[in-house]
Structure 1
Amino acid sequence: MEFHVKSGSPEKQRSACIVIGVFEPRKLSPVGEQLDQVSDGYISNILRRGDLEGKAGQVLLLHNVPNTLCDRVLLIGCGKERDFSESQYKRIISKAISTLNDTGSMEAVCFLSELNVKGRDTHWKVKHAVEAAQSSLYTFDQLKSKTDTARRPLRKLVFNVTTRRDLTIGEQAIAEGQAVAEGVKLAKDLANMPPNICHPTYLAEQAEKIADDYDKVNVEILEESDMLELGMGAFMAVAQGSAQPAKLVILNYNGAEDKDESPITLVGKGLTFDSGGISIKPSESMDEMKYDMGGAAGVFGAFLAIVQLKLPVNVVMAVAAAENMPGGHACRPGDVVTSMSGQTIEILNTDAEGRLVLCDTLTYIDKFNPDVVIDVATLTGACVIALGAHATGLLSNHNPLAHDLLNAGETADDRAWRLPLWDEYQEQLNTNFADMANLGGRPAGTITAACFLSRFTKKYQWAHLDIAGTAWRGGKDKGATGRPVSLLTQYVIDRANARASKDA
């Protein structure tokens, strides 16, 4: 879909539809009041009759509004003005887009971007409107033999801004919003793809495609033989039970002027299916374990957004891709393996496998001399219990990095919450038979999983994002969310902007 910005009066818009906000109780937004005056009170008369109260999500489509040049006016309920929040803004954008798409308005001018969202400027409102619009139109139907498509789908959306000075700001916001939306779409597509299609080799092929499609991007794929030669005993312990060969997928983007500048390094857990291995999971909802590569999907999506924006940074993406299956070659509870770092690990539960593939990957990526490392993983059910589906768990060995990620999450409306990484929790990983166990017991499961990873990240600044609760939804709305693409991309944008301000 095309997105544009312009500045103009609502009554002068030659469009299939213009979109106006209405607050409770029946209070038109400033643009709505302007349009109402031009139409000699036509809109306010309709509201007084009770056709639309202004409750959040209500819609009313008007035709042939007097003294206007548009075919339709879509009124969107925004709720109470004093309660109008960032999340409410995104919800009404989504509602507007789905309504436009269903009612045959192939193009529209949206005045919702002029609404006041506390603490947010034009850039934020336009960028998030683009993201919300694209998200509301997302479908995963490429595997269906018959698809339902709108007869006259929405093709073009113009956001109106208050002044002409905001046009440049709006154009930049559209570029960022579209890049993030493309990244989110890629992450959703990868995660929603069934595991018989999306296996480690498939992920490697997607990386090769990105490297072919974009400048300054190189790809490297480590095969199982390479990993065995490097001594990745923890990674291979997970992979050895599956007929699908594991891959360590590396994408390298050199966008900085200094090609030797230390890169921002994004590491993703890519368990394309997690049966639990010998410690097999219950059968109920096991189909959702195709989403155990949500971390890989997230870093793929963020990498794509960064490359599309041509940000002046160096970025390395590393995806630990494997399948965790039971079988005659599978690792067992009680096995002791040696990681690439030389540290030994007793495997108490084969379903705590994500930290095993990640620990060797986190050791490997030290070769890139990273500036910071952020790993992303659907790592622990404990994180779902602690934070639910709203916040990503964040743990870090570097306070400034954690602070920057939290701020990026607030800006992106893709929030995280920091948990402690105290030494006292490390004791739960003690075992009589190896340097550490791969499980710390039920208490503080998210924290002890991060404690495990922290033992392989002492050489650099590192943060861990546990997205077990935020990567996908279950139930009737089952599907990937595309998180934390927005958070990660915003973090890199913030880094690039801070560099530009410093150099100015």
Structure 2
Amino acid sequence: MEYALTQETPDQLATECLIVGIHENRGLSEAAAAIDRILGGEIAAIVQRGDIEGKPGQTLPLLRAVGKAERILLVGMGAAGECKPMQYKEAVARAALSAADLHVTTIANFLPSVPVKDRSPVWALEQAVVATEDALYRFDRLKTRAPARTQPQSCVFSTPGGSETSARDALAAGAAIAHAMSFAKDLANLPGNMCTPSYLAEQAQTLATRHALKVSVLEKSDMETLGMGALLAVARGTHEPAKLIVLEYHGNGTGAPIALVGKGVTFDSGGISLKPPANMDEMKFDMCGAATVLAVMQAAADMRLPINLVGIVPTTENLPGGSAIKPGDIVTSLSGQTIEILNTDAEGRLILCDALTYAERFKPAAVIDIATLTGACVIALGAQAGGLMGNNEALGHELEQAGQHATDRVWPLPLWEEYQKQLDSNFADMANIGGREAGTITAACFLSRFTEAYPWAHLDIAGIAYKGGKDKGATGRPIPLLMEFLRRRARPA
């Protein structure tokens, strides 16, 4: 999709579909009112009849021309002055889908001119790009008979209040974030027989070439030399070679980098502690953390953020086999700490702990790991928010505030010392699980034992990284949150 800005009025734009907002209580947005005057009150009459009530996300196409526009799409925006950020994004997404149903190729969207509560017009423009691209995303490259449809190819947005430079920057930022989300979704939606650790390494190398990033890929022999016994233990049951992918983006001289560590289990059967067969196909999404890291590195380079980043992706499959790790096995991590494996399906923390120790060598300003780590987080927070834990209150607050602003929310959970004793082992320094109680927290407690050298935050994205059921597919979250966090960090004090 190509995006552009315009300062033309709704009646001046040549487009196949003109999108304007309708408020509850029979109110018209500024753009809708301008069209209504040209049509002699036709839109007001439609609203008075109750054909559209203005509730957020409602749509009503009018198959008639006005000015240079071939048709009009009315979109509900809620009460005037009370459109909330999440409602706004939902309305933009619904508008994009409705436009696609009309089989148009060009859109002129005036929804960014509708005020959003507690947000700036520039925010509304940026989020309009993200919401539009997200709504129109489809993954059908592997279908031999993909559904025939006409997708919008270009979208013109009304320029919001403020400087034109700010508007152009918002448009570019929205496109960079949207494209990163699509990239992450493409990776995660691929099946496990295609998106292997080697494939992720190839994608990282392509990304590095395209954006002049530094890349290194550690192979099994490299990890054996270093002593990454936890990561390699998970890989023992698979024929696919494990990798440790490292990408570096230098946008700010010699400043200490932010390190992002993404869990990259390209398929998780549970290993010897085999998962139930129902919905096991969704375990191809267990590398959404890895996809997020690669996509954020792309977006940072596209936006030329003045910040230094390191992306670390430990990646492997977790399969049963004659050489697979077994419950009761003890492995030695890169940190030198020993781990008793009580459940081989708690493998994500094993590959992450070695990656978190490896991150120390970059002397990071902060480390954030992103992982589809626990089903317990899905039970606790559902699909609305990811779990947030860590060892630095200020860092956690930054991430929480960034998520609120980007409408890509996380919620803090306690990481009290009292939870640590659930990881006690009779035979090793720690066990890899802490029992049924507080499973999300004890997983983070495990990781915390490898992060004492730097400020660290853990994002458990098991509930937000993908959807199941009829809408099955990756979501691209928490890329908006992380990009907002990094942009705030990159701004001069």
Range class of TM-score, shorter chain: over 0.9
Equivalent position of 1:439 in the other structure: 433
Equivalent position of 1:124 in the other structure: 123
Q: Distance in 2 between matches of 1:349 and 1:162?
A: 54
Q: Residues 249 and 319 of structure 1 are in contact (CA less than 8 Å); yes or no, is this contact kept in structure 2?
A: yes
Give the letter aligned to residue 472 of structure 1: Y
Residue 493 (structure 2) pairs with residue 496 (structure 1): no
- Compare 309-318 and 44-53 and name the one that shifted more: 44-53
Q: Distance in 2 between matches of 1:83 and 1:287?
A: 41
Alignment of 1:230-249 (within 5 A): 230-249=226-245
Q: Distance in 2 between matches of 1:359 and 1:48?
A: 61
Q: Distance in 2 between matches of 1:277 and 1:106?
A: 47
Q: Distance in 1 between matches of 2:239 and 2:92?
A: 45
Equivalent position of 2:103 in the other structure: 104
Equivalent position of 1:30 in the other structure: 30
Q: CA deviation at 1:83?
A: 5.1
Residue 251 (structure 2) pairs with residue 252 (structure 1): no
TM-score, normalised on structure 1? Answer: 0.95
Gaps of 5+ in 2: none
Q: Residues 7 and 167 of structure 1 are in contact (CA less than 8 Å); yes or no, is this contact kept in structure 2?
A: no
Equivalent position of 1:356 in the other structure: 350
Q: Distance in 2 between matches of 1:161 and 1:261?
A: 36
Alignment of 1:333-372 (within 5 A): 333-372=327-366
Equivalent position of 1:420 in the other structure: 414
Q: Distance in 1 between matches of 2:476 and 2:65?
A: 39
Equivalent position of 1:12 in the other structure: 12
Secondary structure (helix, strand or coil) at the match of 1:328 reads coil
Equivalent position of 2:221 in the other structure: 225
- Compare 133-142 and 68-77 and name the one that shifted more: 68-77
Give the letter aligned to residue 255 of structure 1: G
Q: Distance in 2 between matches of 1:379 and 1:347?
A: 16
Residue 42 (structure 2) pairs with residue 48 (structure 1): no
Q: Distance in 1 between matches of 2:388 and 2:148?
A: 39
Q: CA deviation at 1:85?
A: 1.3
Give the letter aligned to residue 86 of structure 2: S
Aligned length: 493
Alignment of 1:249-288 (within 5 A): 249-256=245-252, 258=253, 260-288=254-282
Q: Distance in 1 between matches of 2:9 and 2:216?
A: 53
Q: Distance in 2 between matches of 1:5 and 1:58?
A: 25
Q: CA deviation at 1:159?
A: 1.1
Equivalent position of 1:168 in the other structure: 165
Q: Distance in 1 between matches of 2:61 and 2:20?
A: 10
Q: CA deviation at 1:481?
A: 0.7
Match of 1:185 among 182, 185, 205: 182
Secondary structure (helix, strand or coil) at the match of 1:240 reads helix
Match of 2:325 among 331, 335, 349: 331
Q: CA deviation at 1:186?
A: 1.1
Residue 450 (structure 2) pairs with residue 451 (structure 1): no
Q: Residues 122 and 169 of structure 1 are in contact (CA less than 8 Å); yes or no, is this contact kept in structure 2?
A: no
Q: Residues 39 and 65 of structure 1 are in contact (CA less than 8 Å); yes or no, is this contact kept in structure 2?
A: no
TM-score, normalised on structure 2? Answer: 0.97
Residue 301 (structure 2) pairs with residue 307 (structure 1): yes
Secondary structure (helix, strand or coil) at the match of 1:198 reads coil
Q: Residues 21 and 32 of structure 2 are in contact (CA less than 8 Å); yes or no, is this contact kept in structure 1?
A: yes
Give the letter aligned to residue 230 of structure 2: A
Gaps of 5+ in 1: none
Could you say what the CA RMSD is over the residues aligned between the two structures, in angstroms? 1.4
Secondary structure (helix, strand or coil) at the match of 1:140 reads coil
Q: Residues 267 and 376 of structure 1 are in contact (CA less than 8 Å); yes or no, is this contact kept in structure 2?
A: yes
Q: Residues 302 and 486 of structure 1 are in contact (CA less than 8 Å); yes or no, is this contact kept in structure 2?
A: no
Q: Residues 208 and 215 of structure 2 are in contact (CA less than 8 Å); yes or no, is this contact kept in structure 1?
A: yes
Secondary structure (helix, strand or coil) at the match of 1:79 reads coil
